[in-house]
A and B are shown apart, each in its own frame.
Chain A
Amino acid sequence: MDKLVDNLDPILEGFWTTIQLTMVAAVAAMILGTILGTMRVSPIPPLRWLGAAYVEIVRNTPLTLVFFFMVFVAPQVDILVEFKTSAYVALSVYTAAFVCEAVRSGINSVSTGQAEAARAIGMTFTQSISTVILPQAMRTIIPPLINIFVALTKNSSVAAGFFVTELFASGRDLNLRYPSDGLWFLGGVAFFYLLITIPAGIAAGQLERKVAIAR
């Protein structure tokens, strides 16, 4: 316990890095995933194929491999970025595939009549998606989205294996330095993960109620 309290600073630093990784990747994956999800229902076949290919390739690749690609393969074609940036990109690219599928299923949950009515008053595909379909799809999208966010929070620990000292890495390093107190460090690390995921779950629950629409 003492060692945990004494070494709270590096853990907090790691915690902050984990928050950054999670938040940046969450926002980027939301944007990319929504674009991809929209592509998958687009009237233009090549866009649909592109979206489907992205999901099938990225979703079925282990996250570690995506990291590996960003950190070890990308530099060989002269893409040189900081390790943390690589982690941002890897997490965003990976999570976007899951967001895409949540968005797509949400879009499919809105009755076709809504899209037809939007088209009938002269809205373009993009207008009907953004003003009519997505707002109504939200309540279907949010529950899977929170699962994806929780998975992303925990997935960010993979960055520890790729030279980013986030929450898990700082716990691991302390554990190596003070092996007899290992359990305390790991427990502390777990606590800080919960500090992100549990409030996120509560917030999502409230958001879900807010976007509920009578049909």
Chain B
Amino acid sequence: MTVTEHGATEAATGQPLVVLDGVNKWYGDLHVLQDINVTIKRGEVVVVIGPSGSGKSTLCRAINRLETIQKGSITLDGKALPEEGKALAALRADVGMVFQSFNLFAHKTILQNVTLGPIKVRNKKKAEAEKRAKELLDRVGIGHQAAKYPAQLSGGQQQRVAIARALAMDPKVMLFDEPTSALDPEMIAEVLDVMVDLAKQGMTMVVVTHEMGFARTAADRVIFMADGAIVEENTPEEFFTNPQSDRAKDFLGKILKH
């Protein structure tokens, strides 16, 4: 089964899937998310960029409530994010998350990492879950390492397993929180390749990244954040060639210089 299938079967692309409405968050006096309004459509790939401390990771983590928000609302597929408990767990199962530090389960094999969610959360049979896990691991190029433990794999390989683990839950949307920031340049490419494939297959994705190349090739839309607020929002083509705000011009000037 490919990502395109469920993307297409569940609903037509273009419908709003993730809606953030007037989202605000404070850490003490620090206003880390300021009136964030974003609508992410089904099948859309949104790349969030911005300087460190701009709130882009917080925004990404708020979508599956790994970060709570103090004001505003976030809905997923028309349903408001539940506060806690089983309802929240059920919602998170539909949202794939890939972390900067991979966070593979250190005491489980690669295969078990991918089957754990389907078995424990989706109540799939072990054989069925393993079959699907092997397909996914093959797809990200780690199929032959299924019996190893996370510590035996390189960072890039671990991150690809983490993507497979998230995909095994058949998520409606995938969140990537700086997925390549902890990787060597070579490994960055192998992870980005997998992500570009996913994007092509119609997966709805929110990607926080510093990889401007990925933003240019795979994104439908770029959101530029600074100091907790969305400063600019545009197609990658427009954003990179013709940034409107001074903040974005300054940022792009700095990162594209080298």
Taking beta carbons and an 8 Å cutoff, which residues of A are in contact with B?
A: 43, 111, 113-114, 116-124, 127, 131-132, 135-136, 213-215
Contact = CB atoms under 8 A, between A and B. Distances in A.
B90 A117 contact: no
B97 A122 contact: no
Nearest to B122: A122
Contacts of A120: 64, 66, 92, 95-97, 99, 166
Contacts of A215: 106, 151
B120 A127 contact: yes
B89 interface: yes
Interface string B70-93: 000000000000001110011111
**Chain A contact residues: over half helix, strand or loop, or mixed?**
helix
Contact of B120 (A111, A114, A131, A213): A131
Interface string B110-140: 0000001100110000000000000000000
A122 B93 contact: yes
B103 A114 contact: yes
B149 interface: yes
Given A120-B166, A121-B117, A122-B117, 15 more contacts: A43-B84, A116-B66, A117-B97, A117-B104, A117-B162, A119-B66, A120-B96, A120-B97, A121-B93, A121-B169, A122-B92, A124-B85, A132-B116, A136-B105, A136-B106
16 contacts: A113-B99, A113-B103, A114-B105, A117-B97, A117-B99, A120-B64, A120-B66, A121-B117, A121-B121, A123-B117, A123-B121, A124-B89, A127-B120, A132-B105, A135-B107, A215-B151
A213 B182 CA distance: 22
Contacts of B95: 120
Nearest to B90: A122
A41 to B, nearest CB: 14
A39 to B, nearest CB: 16
Nearest to A110: B106
